[in-house]
Amino acid sequence: MTEQQDPRCPSLTRRRFLGALGASVAVASAGAYGISVWGRNPQDSGIAQVGTTTTTTTAPPLPAGTLPIVGDRTLVVIEMGGGNDGLNTVVPHTSGRYHDLRGELAVVDPLDLDGEIGLHPELSYVADRYAAGHVAIVEGIGYPDPDLSHFASMATWWSASSAGEYPTGWLGRYLDATSGSDDPLAGVTIGPGPTPALLGATSFQISVQDMSGLSPQIPQWIDSRDELAGLWRGLAPAGFDDTSALDVVRRAIEVTTDAQDQLNDVLGAPGVAAPTVSAGRRRSDLEESILVAAALVTSPTPPRVVYIHGWGDFDTHEGQADRHGDMMAQLNAALQSLFAAADSAGVCDRLVVMTTSEFGRRPAYNGSGTDHGTANTHFVIGPQVVGGRYGEAPSLTGLDTRGNPRHSVDYRSVYASILTGWLGASAEALLGETHETLPLFAT
């Protein structure tokens, strides 16, 4: 992909992105939650101090090229925001304790996998792939001293640290150490804005919402409408020096225009569109996100990482039975269409999908849903995955004082397994310490 580098913007210039947008997001977010590009930290509002680099990394970011890029492999992450109920996703249906705790919320007709656990009945495609040996089910994932705040727990998962050691995201560090700032489409986020998980020090993520790509809607009557995107680039002239807030915006414009045409080509997006008034039903967010993901992973130059977020509302304190079932159906359909697209393009060997969520939900039913929990179960899916069960199912008898299960697999072990087993990267270099890896991939 480096051959396609935009000649208008040498990578040296792009690397200074660190001094502007990337660093400002990172600086701004190294607050109470460790990391947050959602801007909920008090510091986030002020970007005037841009350029005063007060980041607190334990180690400087790894230079681009430090770690290898393996083939055309892509990792697709699907984030289930709000805390997915792993117990009703991968169901311990033969456990009497499960039925006692869950009462009427218990899934009574799961798709049995092995006489002990079964999948939510909406996950029929996942069950089929499990039978084919392409699905790893990792049970009991969590971290020590779990925090039941959405935002604190998300920050932990995104940064791969609980103590705020890292102002960057775990996948942002991977992008820093591989393509760095040389490849504008190495990391793509599909959803409402950037994700802290892909926040890098030198790399950047392109965020996109749907198949319209990065195409603005401009009324037909504006005579210069087709020229505006090209002229817009001029607002980020060569030689600005990242010292002011205005330069932060200029850098963001530069990065966006670098990726814009390439991304629109991949998605078949028009470049500029006419204003529309919304008509009727839209596809579910995830369905639309998956169309984008499929176009990206089947393109001649697929991203290293595609991160889908902002989908669903898994915070099912209430009305869980219907809401969770709907989202499981969406997840199942999304996985099916993504792998179908990859199959027909002949590239499904290049694709691994993993699910994440900030925590699981409490085993005890609260009368209409479930409250915040801890240890959780996730999927890693793809033809290259060694299917089966990993970790240990959370014990429903040894719950903690809050009534939550204890974890058996550190979430960083899952990251380490994917970084080394799939992306061919050094987990130690990116996570700062050694974590046990699971044999999710054949060696």
Partner 1 sequence: MVSDNERISHICRRLGYGAQPDMVATVGSADAARDALLDLSAPADASFRLDPPDEFDPETDRGNLIALLSFWLEQLATSPRRIEERLVWFWHDHFATDVRKVQTSYFMYLQHQTIRRHATGSFRDLLHAIAVDPAMLVYLDGAQNTADAINENFGREVMELFTLGRGHYTEDDVVAASRAFSGWVAIRDGSRARRPVDLDPWTSHFIPIRHDSGAKTLLGTTGRLDAVDAIDILLEQERTAEFIAHKLYVHLVGLEPATDELDRISTAFRADYDTMDLVTAIAAEPAFTSDAAVLAKVRTPLEKAVGVVQAFGGERGRLRSLGDTLRTMGYVPLAPPNVAGYPEGPALLDPHRLVHTFDFSVLIPEDVRGMSPVEIMNRLGIYDISPNTHDVLESVPDTGGRIAMAINSPEYHLV
Write the CA distances from 331 to 80, 137, 338, 341, 425, integer angstroms. 10, 15, 11, 15, 28
Q: Of the two residues 303 and 387, which places its CB atom closer to partner 1 in the complex?
A: 303
CB of 371 to partner 1, least distance (A): 5
Q: According to CB under 8 A, which one of 44, 128, 165, 410 is a site residue for partner 1?
A: 44
Under the criterion CB under 8 A, does residue 206 sit at the interface with partner 1?
A: yes
Under the criterion CB under 8 A, does residue 259 sit at the interface with partner 1?
A: yes
Cα–Cα nearest to 366, from 316, 410, 432, 400:
316
**Please, which of residues 304-343 interact with partner 1 by CB under 8 A?**
310, 313, 315, 317-318
Class of residue 255 by CB neighbours under 10 A (exposed 0-12, middle 13-18, buried 19+): buried
Under the criterion CB under 8 A, does residue 235 sit at the interface with partner 1?
A: yes
CB of 223 to partner 1, least distance (A): 4
**Please, which of residues 123-142 interact with partner 1 by CB under 8 A?**
none
Contact 176, 64 (CB under 8 A): yes
CB of 104 to partner 1, least distance (A): 12
Q: Of the two residues 83 and 110, which places its CB atom closer to partner 1 in the complex?
A: 83
Under the criterion CB under 8 A, does residue 256 sit at the interface with partner 1?
A: yes
Alpha-carbon gap, residue 185 to 267, rounded angstroms? 12
Q: Which string of x and - marks every residue 368-407 that binds partner 1 (by CB under 8 A)?
A: xx-xx-----------------------------x-----
Stretch that binds partner 1, among 41-49, 63-71, 134-142, 333-341 (CB under 8 A): 41-49
Tell me the backbone φ, ψ of residue 207, rounded to 5 degrees: -105, 140
**Please, which of residues 59-118 interact with partner 1 by CB under 8 A?**
81
Cβ neighbours, 10 Å, residue 10? 12
Contact 264, 213 (CB under 8 A): yes
Q: According to CB under 8 A, which one of 69, 211, 252, 386 is a site residue for partner 1?
A: 252
Under the criterion CB under 8 A, does residue 6 sit at the interface with partner 1?
A: no
**Please, which of residues 142-181 interact with partner 1 by CB under 8 A?**
148-152
Under the criterion CB under 8 A, does residue 208 sit at the interface with partner 1?
A: yes
**Please, which of residues 209-228 interact with partner 1 by CB under 8 A?**
209, 214-219, 221-225, 227-228
Q: Give exposure, 356-384, as e/b (b: 16+ Cβ within 10 Å).
A: bbbbbbbbbbeeebbbbbbbbbbbbbbbb
CB of 231 to partner 1, least distance (A): 6
How far is residue 163 CA from its own chain's centroid?
21
**Please, which of residues 345-374 interact with partner 1 by CB under 8 A?**
365-369, 371-372
Under the criterion CB under 8 A, does residue 52 sit at the interface with partner 1?
A: no
Q: Of the two residues 234 and 346, which places its CB atom closer to partner 1 in the complex?
A: 234
8-state DSSP, 422: T
Determine the straight-line distance between the first and last CA of the chain, rounded to whole angstroms: 26
Residues linked to residue 378 through DSSP beta bridges, in sequence order: 138
Tokens of residue 309, six digits: 């977020």
